């Protein structure tokens, strides 16, 4: 996940709702969280104190600057619940005085107090109701926004405190738009009204607020601008009908209501169901919920898969034609391996033939050295050819990496900059040369021949037995020697083998050896020899020989690919792991649970419709 560079889960609104509201509140002992929210200097703490029935939060004619949340709990709540789990992300502190919430502190503090034996007006705090005061949603301190958001996310009911100055601010509207998306139940308290003059204006202000935020108030109250009453905790609240009608405007009531009583009489089950649906809808929102998050992972993983395809070692180090190992060396190892398989009289006869071949070929080898000089050992020549191929391949790799870096892939640029920085290329080539010089090619070929021919013997028992029979016959019937000698390295067969023997006196030596034992069929080299004895095997034999070349080239290419991992470091593994994220069981589990959640929401919607 880290490789995808996705925003942390904590920055997703749906995740905050999950951990701050759903997980803490989905237990058997359910409760309702009411939060008093709004902008700066609008009397939130005054409203909170009226709900509490005492000065629980500091107030002032100036902006008091509430910086931390305060919560009132029913009696015994802290014994029944683990408060840090109910309010994750907050540091819980016992309430001591109203000024605590004004303190500067980088931690998200939440001061709590149980309302034991406190009478709130004429209404006790219900045993399933929690009431919070919150920091300003439009504070100049961004940290206060975060704290207010945390409270909003865990709340079921919001008491939205508005004033003429604070109902249409951008920050206020942004906060309440989120509340509307979460389907919160909202009580609007329009505070600091000049009554009765503002009776004609507050409906316009509230209508603007509702249109801008999507809030549909469950109840609406207005409160006068009365500082003395506010400080004495005796501010009257008047309920008003919303949406307004002409009849309602003409029959406004001047009888104050008890806000706490209004809250305590809320239909608990319906509200929990409504807010639960709203929270769950945030989780399954196609764009901003879990589906959108999973889509981000798929998209990021796809980008990594594409980057991984580009950067795969095979693609970068693609080699159209790896040098062939010398056929003479390969034939020698095949001959040696086959010789180890012979037994008894057959082994003795063929050892004799091999000895004759070596004796006869020695003069020709001496003459060739005199004419053209000492011949470079075949494996030394091969080492040079392979090193040239490796250098070209490495250059191709670095050129490809540079090109990919320059096209600006945001996932790869920082990683490739690290790989291509400074003298990384020259250091790698120096390391590679040391490693290449240490390769024992003769041992590599011997290991390969043994492995491949053992597989040949195991997977093709009929052919193996066929060659054993011919080997036995060749010891006595010289016309069949060419077939057996091919498998023992004594006779060139097909296009693949011809070049290896026509460059030396070995071709004549082989002819002479055959003639020395009385054979007359080796007058030509090629398919005709085989067609005289075992034409059905020629294609298969040549295929096996080519397979050895291919297997060795693959072995060497694998070696280079392994060495290239030093250049790539952990990048290929990182790309592969990120590309495979959608295939992980955890991803599938989340998808399955998402479908179950969507089914649950459908059932809740049906239940809600039946209750209405």
Nearby residues of 466 by Cβ (< 8 Å), 6 or more positions away: 534, 537
Q: Which two tokens stand for residue 121?
A: 């007006």
Which pLDDT value is given to residue 247?
Answer: 64
Which pLDDT value is given to residue 193?
Answer: 96
Which pLDDT value is given to residue 316?
Answer: 66
Percent of the chain with pLDDT over 90: 29
DSSP label of 480: G
Neighbours of 31 (CB within 10 A): 21
The more confident residue out of 497 and 598 is 598
In the predicted model, is pLDDT for residue 177 greater than 90?
Answer: yes
Q: How far, in Å, CA of 493 to CA of 512, rounded? A: 17
Tokens 């609104």 sit on residue: 13
**Sheet order of strands, 238-240 included:** 91-94, 109-114, 69-73, 129-133, 32-38, 157-162, 185-193, 219-224, 238-240
In the predicted model, is pLDDT for residue 212 greater than 60?
Answer: yes
Q: Where are the beta strands (DSSP E) in 39-80?
A: 69-73
Please state the separation of Cα 568 from the chain's center in Å. Answer: 19
Q: Is the peptide bond before 196 cis (omega within 30 degrees of 0)?
A: yes
In the predicted model, is pLDDT for residue 461 greater than 50?
Answer: yes
In the predicted model, is pLDDT for residue 311 greater than 90?
Answer: no
Least confident among 90-99, 102-111, 239-248, 361-370: 361-370
Mean pLDDT of the chain, nearest integer: 76
Q: What is the pLDDT of residues 352-397, one digit of tens each?
A: 555 655 555 556 555 555 565 566 788 999 999 989 988 888 887 7
Residues 533 and 484 sit within 8 Å (Cβ to Cβ): no
The β-bridge partners of 240 are 220
Percent of the chain with pLDDT over 70: 73
Q: How far, in Å, CA of 133 to CA of 161, rounded? A: 11
Please state the separation of Cα 5 from the chain's center in Å. Answer: 9
Q: Which two tokens stand for residue 465?
A: 């037995």
What domains, with CATH codes, occur in the chain? 30-285 (3.40.50.300), 316-571 (no CATH)
Phi-psi region at 20: left, alpha or beta (left = phi > 0; alpha = psi -120 to 50): alpha
Q: What is the pLDDT of residues 251-281, one digit of tens each?
A: 678 899 998 888 888 888 888 888 888 888 8
Q: How far, in Å, CA of 270 to CA of 289, rounded? A: 24
Q: What is the pLDDT of residues 61-93, one digit of tens each?
A: 666 578 899 999 998 899 988 999 899 989 999
Q: What is the mean pLDDT of residues 507-513?
A: 29
Q: How far, in Å, CA of 548 to CA of 44, rounded? A: 84
Neighbours of 352 (CB within 10 A): 12
* Helices H / strands E in the chain, number of each: 28, 9
Q: Where are the beta strands (DSSP E) in 74-127?
A: 91-94, 109-114
The more confident residue out of 114 and 510 is 114
Cα-Cα end-to-end distance for the chain: 44
| Predicted TM-score of the model (pTM) | 0.62
Quote helix, strand, coil % in the chain, to nearest 5: 60, 10, 30
């Amino acid at each position: 996940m880290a490789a995808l560079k996705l925003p942390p889960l904590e920055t997703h609104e749906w995740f905050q709702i999950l951990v701050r509201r759903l997980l803490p509140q989905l237990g058997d002992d359910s409760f309702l969280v009411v939060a008093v929210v709004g902008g700066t200097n609008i009397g939130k703490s005054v409203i909170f104190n009226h709900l509490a029935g005492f000065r629980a939060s500091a107030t002032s004619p100036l902006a008091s600057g509430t910086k931390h949340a305060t919560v009132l709990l029913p009696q015994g709540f802290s014994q029944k619940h683990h408060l840090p789990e109910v309010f994750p992300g907050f540091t819980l502190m016992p309430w001591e005085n109203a000024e605590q919430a004004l303190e500067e502190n980088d931690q998200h503090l939440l001061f709590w107090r149980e309302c034991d034996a406190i009478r709130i007006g004429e209404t006790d705090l219900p045993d399933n109701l929690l009431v919070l005061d919150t920091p300003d949603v439009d504070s100049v301190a961004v940290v206060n926004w975060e704290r207010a958001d945390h409270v909003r996310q865990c709340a079921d009911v919001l008491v939205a405190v508005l004033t003429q100055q604070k109902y249409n601010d951008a920050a206020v509207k942004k906060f309440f738009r989120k509340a509307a998306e979460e389907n919160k139940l909202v009580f609007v308290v329009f505070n600091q009204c000049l009554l009765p003059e503002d009776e004609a204006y507050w409906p316009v202000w509230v209508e603007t607020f509702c249109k801008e935020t999507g809030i549909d108030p469950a109840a609406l109250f207005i409160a006068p601008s009365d500082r003395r009453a506010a400080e004495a905790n005796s501010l009257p609240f008047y309920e008003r009908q919303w949406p307004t009608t002409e009849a309602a405007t003409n029959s406004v009531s001047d009888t104050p209501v008890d806000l706490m009583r209004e809250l305590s009489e809320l239909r608990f089950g319906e509200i929990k169901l409504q807010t639960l649906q709203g929270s769950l809808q945030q989780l399954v929102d196609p764009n901003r919920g879990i589906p959108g998050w999973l889509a981000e992972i798929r998209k990021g993983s796809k980008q990594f898969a594409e980057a991984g395809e580009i950067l795969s070692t095979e693609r970068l180090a693609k080699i159209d034609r790896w040098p062939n190992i010398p056929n003479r060396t390969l034939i020698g190892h095949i001959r040696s391996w086959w010789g180890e398989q012979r037994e008894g009289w057959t082994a003795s006869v063929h050892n004799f033939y091999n000895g004759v071949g070596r004796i006869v070929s020695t003069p020709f080898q001496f003459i060739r050295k005199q004419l053209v000089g000492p011949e470079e050992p075949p494996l030394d020549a091969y080492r040079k050819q392979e090193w040239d191929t490796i250098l070209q391949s490495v250059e191709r790799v670095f050129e490809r990496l540079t090109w990919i870096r320059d096209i600006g892939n945001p996932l790869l640029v920082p990683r490739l900059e690290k790989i291509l920085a400074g003298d990384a290329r020259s250091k790698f080539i120096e390391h590679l040369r040391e490693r290449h010089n240490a390769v024992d090619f003769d041992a590599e070929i011997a290991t390969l021949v043994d492995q491949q021919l053992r597989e040949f013997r195991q997977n093709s028992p009929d052919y193996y037995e066929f060659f054993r029979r011919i080997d036995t016959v060749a010891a006595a019937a010289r016309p069949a020697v060419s077939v057996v000698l091919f498998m023992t390295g004594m006779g060139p067969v097909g296009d693949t083998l011809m070049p290896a023997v026509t460059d030396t006196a070995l071709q004549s030596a082989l002819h002479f050896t055959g003639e020395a034992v009385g054979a007359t069929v080796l007058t030509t080299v090629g398919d005709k020899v085989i067609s005289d004895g075992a034409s059905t095997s020629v294609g298969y034999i040549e295929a096996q020989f080519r397979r050895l070349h291919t297997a060795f080239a693959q072995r060497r290419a694998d070696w280079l690919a392994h060495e290239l991992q030093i250049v790539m470091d952990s990048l290929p593994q990182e790309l592969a792991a990120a590309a495979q994220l959608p295939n992980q069981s955890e991803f599938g589990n989340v998808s399955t649970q998402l479908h179950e959640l969507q089914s649950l929401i459908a059932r809740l919607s049906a239940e809600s419709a039946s209750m209405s």
